[in-house]
Structure 1
């Protein structure tokens, strides 16, 4: 991922994360962007050069149509944690997400990783069936009751 593509990633991912947290009921709209920015700064103190974190552009027909961010975690079990995969709406259903996940599995195997883990927001109705089709299993649930 080039510096320009990383800038696109942050300019897309931070507002998307904030919006997901608002829709999920986790953060108020007034502070969501600030909270999301802080969360990214904590996870990526050195930006694209943060050790253990990897960023890839998803290219289709010579155009960047998405991105992937993951980290290799050396805690037990040795895990590849997928922070985010994002593909433009008009480029979905072309098999790009499945291809990226196959590539991540290959990278994980090369790194001696035993699991790929990820988080799906409850509001993301497309994601869970996608990951289940790829063989992912739900490992826990987090529930909330709005009062």
Structure 2
């Protein structure tokens, strides 16, 4: 049985250790940042988004559990551009639990949680290279709202 529970401070601290590095790597792999600046850029982005860490207003962090085993995490927040919308900043089902339907079930739980919090919409960003996630999000009813593209010269 899948459930989402508020992330603990220890869970948040552990999450931050990998999140900053993973985000930097994604930005480099997708050609947005140069590798020499990526870690610094990522730290700056997280510091701006989360000035009070886990206690930052309008940011919601959840650990995802299957029964009693932690299988991932999800972070959503009030969208700065549309106050009726929650935005998923980060979402991961750990690799050994992928392709078992946990991602879809988690998105359903998060949609319910977003409604409880008073939101009418749920948005997210997915890197163009992440075709597997893009497929899941489309399957779950997310629609593309804008697309950034680039061409290597």
What TM-score range do you get, normalising by the shorter chain? Answer: over 0.9
Identify unmatched segments of 5+ residues in structure 2: 1-6
- 1:85 corresponds to 2:91: yes
Greater alpha carbon shift after TM alignment, 57-66 vs 131-140: 57-66
Question: CA–CA distance in 1 between the matches of 2:45 and 2:82?
Answer: 24
Report the TM-score, using the length of structure 1 for normalisation. 0.93
**Residue of structure 1 in register with 2:110 after alignment:** 104
Question: CA–CA distance in 2 between the matches of 1:27 and 1:73?
Answer: 24
Greater alpha carbon shift after TM alignment, 16-25 vs 64-73: 64-73
**What is the CA distance between 1:77 and its match in structure 2?**
5.3
Pick from 53, 66, 78 the counterpart of residue 47 of structure 1: 53
Conserved? CA contact 1:77–1:115, under 8 Å: no
**What is the CA distance between 1:34 and its match in structure 2?**
1.0
SS class of match (1:83): strand
Report the TM-score, using the length of structure 2 for normalisation. 0.89
- 1:57 corresponds to 2:63: yes
Aligned length: 147
Q: Which protein has greater RCO, CA pairs closer than 8 Å, 6+ apart?
A: 2
Could you list the per-position Cα deviations for residues 48-104 of structure 1 after superposition, in whole angstroms to 9, with x for gaps in the alignment?
000000101112242322110000237545001000111111111122211211111
**Residue of structure 1 in register with 2:44 after alignment:** 38
TM-align CA RMSD: 1.5
Identify unmatched segments of 5+ residues in structure 1: none
**Residue of structure 1 in register with 2:129 after alignment:** 123
Greater alpha carbon shift after TM alignment, 78-87 vs 53-62: 53-62
